[in-house]
Chain A
Amino acid sequence: MFIDPYLQTLLIITAVLTAIIMALLAIMLISRLLTSLNRQKYKLKTQQWEDLYLNYLHGDLSLEETAGLMEGEKPYWLWQFFAPYLDVLAGSDFEKTKTLCREIGLIDYYKKKLHRGRTVGKATAARVLGALRCRESVSEMLNLLQSKNPILVQAAAQGLAKSGKTETFFTTAQALLGNTFFTYKGATEILAGFGENICPQIARYLEKESGRLPAVGQGQNIKSPKETPRKNTVNATDYRSIMIDLLGFFKYRQALPLLERLLEKADEETTVHILKAFINMKEVPANLDLKSYLEHRYWTVRNFSARAWQLTGDRQALPVLEKLLSDRNWWVRYNAAEALRSAGQPGLEILEQNTAEADQAAASISSYALSRSEV
């Protein structure tokens, strides 16, 4: 029925498949062998290095001696060894470590990798150079910011942030928002690596921007800006929000008057971020009346103003907080209850009263808040 050539082809295919399977098996075995050898070696080396390094830090070994025993080793292994220390050390110990890394050629190696490596190599290099706080590869990293690969953009942004070159801050921020899918928090975390020296720049930027903000009621985004897809153009509200977040993170209280001014004209999203900044700074501008924000139509604003209220202790707002115990959003109720709990005797009394209220939600959240006081 079927002629021999077909049979022949099938036989050949069978043979090929069997050969491939055997080859895969062989690769597995070899890979395993190599890796276990490597692992043992790595373990031994890191133990040696640990002894050397700790003694070097303590001053018992000189730079030359230590470097002499560490150079020529696999750069990636060296990096893995030093990485946890670099993240945690500061001051002279950090500098000593960096000098050691330079002496053993680690910095040069990764500078070259950044320039000429493949994606994985470049990403690692950016991370290494960032951890070592190198300022020398800034132009390379700026190039990487424009990469189509979000991973490289992120690695470059991290590297630049840690290098401390604050003049690259805005470019990095724009690239991070425009070329990746980062969330606010993710982007803020990386940008915070630049350190608090960026705060004056940010404040100046926001000053300029404050002239251009539309008044509340105009140009309102009903849909939160996070939900709309980013298409390489940076959403102005996103950008501004992250700037404000950073001011809050660094507790840059000099910006309080500026933030107060921005608050007057801010849209919902920006309002929330400004309130968050106040909370982080542990200070609310003296003349700010939170009542209108406590009764704002967006729950996020009500929520954060309840938290911000804890910093003012303004007795006049207590009845408003009490009303919020029946708010339709759980987080608002929760934070209103927390605010009352922090308000000393009058707040606790209000909570006690509410546990017996007809409103189920208010009663429940009040009991919960009171139970937290018992811990």
Chain B
Amino acid sequence: MIEAVAQPKKILVAEDDPGLNRLISFKLEKEGYKALTAFDGKAALKIALEEEISAIILDIMMPFLDGIQVLKKVRTAKPHLPAIVLSVKSRENDLNQALELGASDYMTKPFQPEKLIDRLQKVLGNN
């Protein structure tokens, strides 16, 4: 029996800052993942629902739909999808809400992308 070659895991990077989005995607690809990018909430939701992704990295402040809304809607369809939420330190309420909604982890900006990748791998490892 021929074993199928392992497909790289797809990770959705939902972040409206194009530079940061590119940075995270770059690091993910270096670690062997495939990064799908979205620059606003609507696009993020679409990709999250339609594609076979293994995890989401989700910025809270995005146009159209913020990260919380996206998370809410994704949870109803895919309750076990791991999500790491990014936000600013001062918006604690958002982070708490995200955790209540089942976000696996969070990081506050400014942050170190390395740590983000580490946490992502931990979260994926747990699944």
Taking the complex as a whole, does A directly touch B, i.e. does some CB pair lie under 8 Å apart?
yes
Listed in ascending order, the chain A residues whose CB lies under 8 Å from chain B are 50, 54, 57-58, 84-85, 87-94, 249
User: Which of B17-25, B33-41, B50-58 lies at the interface?
Assistant: B17-25
> Is chain B's binding surface mostly helix, strand, loop or mixed?
helix
Contacts of B127 in A (CB 8 A): none
In the complex the two chains form, is B112's CB within 8 Å of A58's CB? no
Which of B's residues lie within 8 Å of A, judged by CB? 17-20, 22-23, 26-27, 30, 90, 109-115
Q: Are A92 and B112 in contact (CB under 8 A)?
A: yes
CA gap between A87 and B26 in the complex, in Å: 18
Question: With A54-B22, A54-B23, A58-B27 in contact, do A89 and B113 touch (Cβ < 8 Å)?
Answer: yes
Given contact pairs A89-B110, A89-B113, A90-B112, a sample of 10 additional A-B residue pairs in the complex whose CB atoms are under 8 Å apart = A54-B22, A54-B23, A54-B27, A84-B17, A84-B18, A88-B17, A88-B20, A90-B109, A90-B111, A92-B112
Q: Are A85 and B90 in contact (CB under 8 A)?
A: no
Q: Which residues of A contact B19 (CB under 8 A)?
A: 50, 84-85, 88
Residue of A nearest to B108 (CB): A90
Cα separation A249 to B90 with both chains bound (whole Å): 8
Tell me if B23 and A91 are in contact (CB < 8 A).
no
The winner among B19, B26, B112 for most chain A CB atoms within 10 A is: B19
Residues of B within 8 A of A249 (CB): 90
Is B112 a contact of A88 with CB atoms below 8 Å?
A: no
Chain B, Cβ-Cβ closest to A50? B22
Which B residue sits closest to A94, measured CB to CB?
Answer: B110
Nearest-neighbour CB distance to chain A for B66, whole angstroms, equals 15
Docked CA distance A301–B114 (Å): 45
Distance, CA A92 to CA B112, complexed state (A): 7
A84 CB, min distance to chain B CBs, angstroms: 4
CA–CA, A58 and B114, complex, Å: 9
Determine how close the nearest CB of chain A comes to the CB of B44; give it in whole angstroms. Answer: 18
Nearest A-chain residue to B111, judged by Cβ: A90
Report A-chain residues with C-beta under 8 Å of the C-beta of B27: 54, 58
Pairwise interchain contact B109-A88, C-beta atoms closer than 8 A: yes
How far apart sit A65 and B66, CA to CA, in the bound complex (Å)? 40
> Are A89 and B111 in contact (CB-based, < 8 A)?
yes
A-B contact list, 30 entries, CB within 8 Å: A50-B19, A54-B22, A54-B23, A54-B26, A54-B27, A57-B23, A58-B26, A84-B17, A84-B18, A85-B23, A87-B110, A88-B17, A88-B19, A88-B20, A88-B110, A88-B111, A89-B110, A89-B111, A89-B113, A90-B110, A90-B112, A91-B111, A91-B112, A91-B115, A92-B112, A92-B114, A93-B114, A94-B110, A94-B112, A249-B90
